[in-house]
């Protein structure tokens, strides 16, 4: 997704400039060609050499630096960019861009580019909530800029308020989403479920399973990065909530069913990657169950079968996690639940177990023969699944 993309990373003179070094590093690691442009004030906070070392590219800091190319630097950067991202964006740079001022290399590049522009404001709370800053942000949004809102938290001054730079993963997610806006799922809506449900026994215990949610999250992110609007319905997981999608948090199979019914009122596809419990305690104890002398028997009843019960004109894609007779069991599930496609994975395999970053899947479409794929990352597997979704949606 980010491979071979040219990302012009503008760094302005906010205290969060040091965090932009982490972003530059992560973008470069993902294969992007990162061209850093710094304002003079930013160079007072972080040395250009840091960015040069992390990106392997020279850093541009001045309008009148001799360009190695027979080109004007800000114009060539503006043309080269697949996307321009300003992290952090100071109140000053936001105001200058909103007013069309072009008195340094960064504002000139912004004015000269036709690439999408993402700004991540970060500043002291009072500067951020100041009506003039908010008006400038609103103006830029209206002009098609993507603004990542500053978050609430501890600020450099020690006070608590709005103005903090969001996590770098959130900024990465927004960059990927912006780059993929016109992808092959543009204009589509996809609902993805992820994680293992938790069926309550009492206020401190539940019946769970070993699903990590990684496959579902990878699918949601991949769909987002191909232009789809995504609703992610997730149980509690150890994963960070991805940027650029609607997220619905649930715990039990019943809660998940309610969320799926609501989300699929308007969708093109439902991908049920969550591991939904088949059974739940008949009643959840209101108080913690105390240890007694003997054993404990729990009466279990069936949970709703979401994929079988859900109605609507959208693609239904299920997952079959099996430990034996993988393909036969998956095919049975495909027919029994009237699915359009099923993704079978052998959870007894050593190299693609729950929690792993990799998966070895077999895709089976209605009327199609099984398509067995080699071991790959869950993100790559997600894209293979979505390749099939794109074809089915045509």
Compute, in degrees rounded to 10, the torsion defined by CA atoms 250, 253, 258, 261: 110
Characterize the bridge pairing of strands 151-154 and 199-202: unpaired
How far apart CA 205 and CA 203 sit, in angstroms, is 6
- Binding of residue 15 to ligand FMN (CB under 6 A): yes
Pairing of strands 341-346, 315-322: parallel
Give me 192's structure tokens: 């993805």
The whole-angstrom separation of Cα 286 and Cα 229 is 39
* Residue 166 in contact with ligand FMN, rule: CB under 6 A: no
The smaller minimum CB distance to ligand FMN, of residues 56 and 131, is found at 131
- 385 is a site residue for ligand FMN (CB under 6 A): no
Looking up tokens 């095919």 gives 331
Q: Does 10 engage in binding with ligand FMN (CB under 6 A)?
A: no
Residue 109 in the binding site for ligand FMN (CB under 6 A): no
Instruction: Tell me how many helices (H) and strands (E) the chain has.
Output: 14, 21
Min. distance of Cβ 148 from ligand FMN in angstroms? 14
User: Are 150 and 166 within 8 A, CB to CB?
Assistant: yes
Shortest spacing between CB 41 and ligand FMN, in angstroms? 4
Q: Kindly state whether residue 12 participates in binding ligand FMN, applying the rule CB under 6 A.
A: yes
Tell the smallest beta-carbon distance from residue 33 to ligand FMN (Å).
Answer: 23
Q: What minimum distance in Å lies between the beta carbon of 142 and ligand FMN?
A: 21
DSSP H or E stretch at residue 346: strand 341-346
Q: Which residues of 200-212 are buried (b: 16+ CB within 10 A; e: fewer)?
A: bbeeebbbbbebb
Minimal distance, residue 162 CB to ligand FMN, in Å: 12
The reply to whether 182 belongs to the active site is no
Determine the interface stretch with ligand FMN among 10-18, 25-33, 282-290, 363-371 (rule: CB under 6 A): 10-18
Cβ–Cβ under 8 Å, residues 152 and 164: yes
Structure tokens given for 133: 């800053």
Which ranges of 159-317 would DSSP assign to H, the alpha helix?
A: 168-179, 214-224, 253-263, 306-309
Query: For ligand FMN, how many residues bind (rule: CB under 6 A)?
Result: 15
List 28, 37, 46, 122, residue binding ligand FMN (CB under 6 A):
122
Distance CA(237)–CA(195), nearest Å, equals 6
Q: Which is nearer to ligand FMN, 168 or 344 (CB)?
A: 168
Among 123, 273, 310, 330, binds ligand FMN (CB under 6 A): 123
45 vs 343 by CB, closer to ligand FMN: 45
> Which x/- pattern, by CB under 6 A, does the window 68-107 give for ligand FMN?
----------------------xxxx--------------
Identify the active-site residue in 57, 209, 329, 358.
209
Q: Is 217 helix (H, G, I), strand (E, B) or coil?
A: helix
Which part of the chain contacts ligand FMN (CB under 6 A), choosing from 39-47, 67-75, 262-270, 346-354? 39-47
Residue 159, token pair as written in the block: 């006070």
Closer Cβ to ligand FMN, 13 or 166, answer by number: 13
Shortest CA distance to 35 belongs to which of 68, 61, 70, 65?
61
Residue 127 in the binding site for ligand FMN (CB under 6 A): yes
Residues of this chain that interact with ligand FMN (CB under 6 A) are 12-16, 39, 41-42, 90-93, 122-123, 127
- Residues catalogued as catalytic: 209
């Amino acid at each position: 997704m980010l491979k071979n993309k040219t990302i012009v990373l503008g760094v302005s003179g906010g205290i969060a400039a040091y965090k932009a070094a982490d972003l530059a590093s992560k973008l470069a690691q993902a294969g992007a060609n990162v061209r850093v442009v710094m304002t003079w004030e930013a160079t007072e906070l972080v040395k250009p050499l840091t960015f040069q070392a992390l990106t392997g590219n020279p850093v541009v800091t001045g309008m009148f630096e001799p360009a190695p190319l027979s080109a004007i630097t800000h114009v060539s950067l503006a043309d080269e960019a697949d996307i321009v991202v300003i992290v952090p964006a100071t109140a000053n740079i936001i105001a200058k861009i909103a007013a069309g001022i072009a008195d340094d290399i960064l504002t000139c590049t912004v004015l000269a580019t036709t690439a999408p522009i993402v700004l991540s404001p970060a500043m002291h709370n009072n500067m951020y909530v100041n009506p003039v800053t908010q008006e400038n942000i609103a103006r830029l949004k209206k002009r098609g800029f993507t603004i990542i809102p500053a978050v609430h938290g501890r600020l450099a001054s020690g006070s608590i308020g709005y103005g903090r730079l969001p996590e770098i993963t959130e900024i990465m997610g927004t960059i990927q989403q912006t780059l993929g806006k016109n992808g092959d799922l543009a204009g589509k809506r996809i609902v993805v479920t992820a994680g293992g449900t938790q069926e309550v026994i009492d206020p401190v215990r539940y019946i769970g399973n070993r699903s990590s949610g990684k496959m579902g999250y990878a699918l949601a992110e991949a769909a987002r990065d191909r232009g789809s609007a995504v609703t992610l319905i997730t149980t509690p997981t150890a994963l960070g909530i991805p940027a650029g999608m609607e997220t619905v948090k649930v715990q039990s199979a019943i809660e998940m069913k309610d969320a799926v019914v609501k989300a699929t009122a308007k969708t093109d596809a439902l991908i049920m990657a969550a591991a939904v419990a088949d059974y739940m305690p008949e009643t959840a104890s209101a108080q913690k169950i105390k240890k007694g002398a003997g054993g404990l028997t729990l009466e279990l009843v069936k949970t709703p079968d979401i994929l079988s019960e859900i109605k609507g004109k959208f693609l239904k894609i299920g997952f079959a996690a099996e430990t034996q007779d993988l393909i036969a069991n998956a095919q049975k599930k495909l027919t029994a639940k009237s699915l359009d496609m099923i993704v079978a994975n052998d959870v007894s395999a050593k190299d693609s177990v729950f929690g792993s970053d990799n998966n070895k899947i077999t895709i089976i479409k209605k009327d199609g023969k099984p398509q067995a794929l080699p071991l790959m990352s869950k993100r790559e597997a997600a894209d293979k699944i979505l390749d099939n979704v794109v074809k089915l949606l045509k």
